[in-house]
Structure 1
C-alpha cells in the first residue's frame, strides 16, 4: 500500500493501521546578497618646507636635502633656492627623515638628521641651521733648548671667558682636535694647565686666529725645572777623639780638651836615677800639655829654680867685687 502525502498543517500517515504525526515541510527563505563596503576617502596630502640658515641668521642657498619615508624609501630630493628655501609637496601623512647631504658652502658644515611629521593638508616648516666648519688644531709641546717633543702637556683653548677645547699631548708629544669657530675669523687664547714632567709651566699669554675649516698649529715650549740646591753633607762622626776643643754652651764652664792616645788625667811613673820611682808624671807621646791648675807645680818648681839661681849669681858677683886684705910689707921682723 502506498502512502499519500497531503500538504497541511500536519500529515497523518497510516502504517499498518497506526497513525503518526510529522511536521509539514516548509520552504526556506533565500539569503540576501552582501553589498560591497563603502570606500574611505584618502587623507589630503601634506608638505614640508625647509629654510636653511647659518648661525648668524643669514640664508644659505644651494644646500642639498634628501627626504625618506618611514620605510626608508626616498620621498623627495632637492636644493634650497636663493632665499634658502626648499619645499616637498604631495606627501602622504606620516613620519619622514630629513637628511642634509651638502651645505653648498665651503665655510659651513651639514646639520644633523632630524624627523619631520607630515599631517593631512598641512605644511610642516623646518629651519635648518648649518654650523660653521671647525678649525683643525694641532698641538705640540717642545723643550725650549733642544726642541724635543714632550708628552703630557695639557692646554685649554677658548675665546673670551669660555673654554672650547682641551688637548693633551701624547707619547709622541703632539695631538689634534677640532676647535668650534663661531665667526668667519676669530681669535682664541691658549693656557697651559699641566706642564710635562720635569718642566716648568708655560705662563706667558699666547693667542692665535683661526677660520672655518682652516688648519692651525699651536706650539708650547717649556724650560726644564732647575735642580734644587743640595745642602753640603757633613762628615759623619768616626767615633774617635779629635784635637779640636769642643765648646760647651753651659754658662761658666771651661772648655774641655780631648786628645787621642792616653787621656790627660792619666800619668805614668818615671824611674829616677837612683832607682827610686819619681811621682812626677810624664806626658805620654801624642798627648797634649796640661793647662790650668795641673801646671801649677811646674810653675812653682821653675820659679824656685830661677830664684836659687838668681841668689847664687848675686853672691858670686858680690865676692868678685869685695877686695881681699893685703899684708904690710914693711912689717919688722925680729
Structure 2
C-alpha cells in the first residue's frame, strides 16, 4: 500500500514538471527494502574446527624426586611461541588447546642450582589427545682443578697424567700443561660423590706418585686435587777429564827362560833363609802393640801387586848373597887342599 502511494506520487510530480517546467521534489532513496548480507564471522562459526590437543610435562631429578619451578618454552613449527610456564609443586606443567602438529620444547631453567637442563626435543600433538612427557634433570658436573707439585719446593710440574674415577670406572683423564695444572668435569650421582685419583705418568725427572688418594665433590661445586712428586735419584756421569788417581804398581813375574834363571822363572829359596829375624820380630811387635793390620802368614803372599815387590827383592838379594858365600867357601877349600898337597910332597 505504501509502495503504491510512493509510485503514484512520483508520477504526479513528473506530470506536474512536464506541465509547469519545474521540478519541486524527487525521492533520493530506493523504496525497495534491502536483504541482509551474511557476515564472515557467521560463516566461520558455522564451520567446524579441528579437535585441539595438549601437552602435559612432569619434571623429576635423577633420584626420582619431583622438581618444582622448572621453566619451559613451547614453539610451533614456524618457531613462534605457543606457550610458556613453570612446573608446580608436584613438578607438573600443562599446555592446553594446541593445534595438532609438531612443536619444539625447550627447558630454560631447572629450578635448582644443582641440576642441569635437558636438551631441546620435538613434541607431537595429536587431535583430541594429551601428550605426556617426563623430563629428568641430572645433577650438574663437578669442576675439578688438578695440580702437580714438587714435594720439596712446591713448584708446579707439567707432564703429569692422572686418572680420576669412582668404583671401578675411570671417568676423567687429564695431563698438566705448561703451568702445571689441568681442569675437567666429573659427573656426579649424588650431593656428595667420592672419587679416587691415580697418577699414570710422572713429570720428566720425577718418580711416580703412588699413594692412594680420594676426594669428594658435589654437583656444580669446584674442587682442587693436588699430587706431589719426588725427584728421581740419578747417578753422576763421569767427566771426560777425570783420570784414575792410582797407578797400577804390580810387577810382572819373571818369564821362564829369562837369562840367569835356572828354575824356569821361579826364584829358589836359600836353605835356612826364611823370613828374616828382623821382619819376624817387627811382625810380632806390631801384633803385641794391638795394630789392627793382620800379620802375613809365612810362606804365602797376603797381597799381590805392590805388596809382593819387597818379598821378591829380598829373595833375590838372599839368593845372590848365598851364591857369593858358596863361591868363597869353594875357593878357600881348593886353596886349603892345594896347600895340603904341597906340604905332603915336601915331607
* CA pair 265-104 structure 1, distance change in 2 beyond 3 A: farther
Q: Does 1:307 align with 2:313?
A: no
Q: Does 1:200 align with 2:212?
A: no
Hey, what's the Cα distance between the residues in 2 that align with 1:154 and 1:168? 4
SS of the residue 2:67 aligns to:
coil
Hey, what's the Cα distance between the residues in 1 that align with 2:239 and 2:315? 37
The residue that corresponds to 1:244 in the other structure is 250
Contact 1:245 1:256 in 2 (8 A): no
* CA positional deviation for 1:229: 6.9
Hey, what's the Cα distance between the residues in 1 that align with 2:62 and 2:236? 57
Hey, what's the Cα distance between the residues in 2 that align with 1:313 and 1:147? 100
Alpha-carbon RMSD? 4.0
* CA pair 221-310 structure 1, distance change in 2 beyond 3 A: farther
* CA positional deviation for 1:64: 0.3
TM-score by length of 1: 0.62
SS of the residue 1:307 aligns to:
helix
* CA positional deviation for 1:311: 6.9
Hey, what's the Cα distance between the residues in 1 that align with 2:128 and 2:186? 44
* CA positional deviation for 1:178: 1.2
Q: Does 1:138 align with 2:161?
A: no
Give ranges in structure 1 of 5+ residues lacking alignment.
1-38, 237-241, 247-254, 258-263, 267-288, 317-334
Hey, what's the Cα distance between the residues in 1 that align with 2:325 and 2:125? 134
Query: Which residue, out of 104, 109, 125, partners 2:132?
Result: 125
* CA pair 92-256 structure 1, distance change in 2 beyond 3 A: farther
1:163-204 deviation line (CA, Å, top 9, x unaligned)? 121111111100111111110112111111111111111110
* CA pair 296-205 structure 1, distance change in 2 beyond 3 A: closer
SS of the residue 1:207 aligns to:
strand
Hey, what's the Cα distance between the residues in 2 that align with 1:216 and 1:116? 39
Aligned residues between the structures: 241
* CA pair 301-79 structure 1, distance change in 2 beyond 3 A: same
Hey, what's the Cα distance between the residues in 1 that align with 2:124 and 2:164? 40
* CA pair 179-243 structure 1, distance change in 2 beyond 3 A: closer
Larger strand proportion of the pair: 1
Hey, what's the Cα distance between the residues in 2 that align with 1:164 and 1:112? 22
Hey, what's the Cα distance between the residues in 1 that align with 2:113 and 2:131? 28
* CA pair 308-140 structure 1, distance change in 2 beyond 3 A: same
Hey, what's the Cα distance between the residues in 2 that align with 1:313 and 1:89? 157
Larger helix proportion of the pair: 2
* CA pair 243-209 structure 1, distance change in 2 beyond 3 A: closer
Q: Does 1:71 align with 2:78?
A: yes
Q: Does 1:190 align with 2:197?
A: yes
TM-score by length of 2: 0.60
The residue that corresponds to 1:147 in the other structure is 154
* CA positional deviation for 1:42: 4.2
Hey, what's the Cα distance between the residues in 2 that align with 1:310 and 1:59? 135
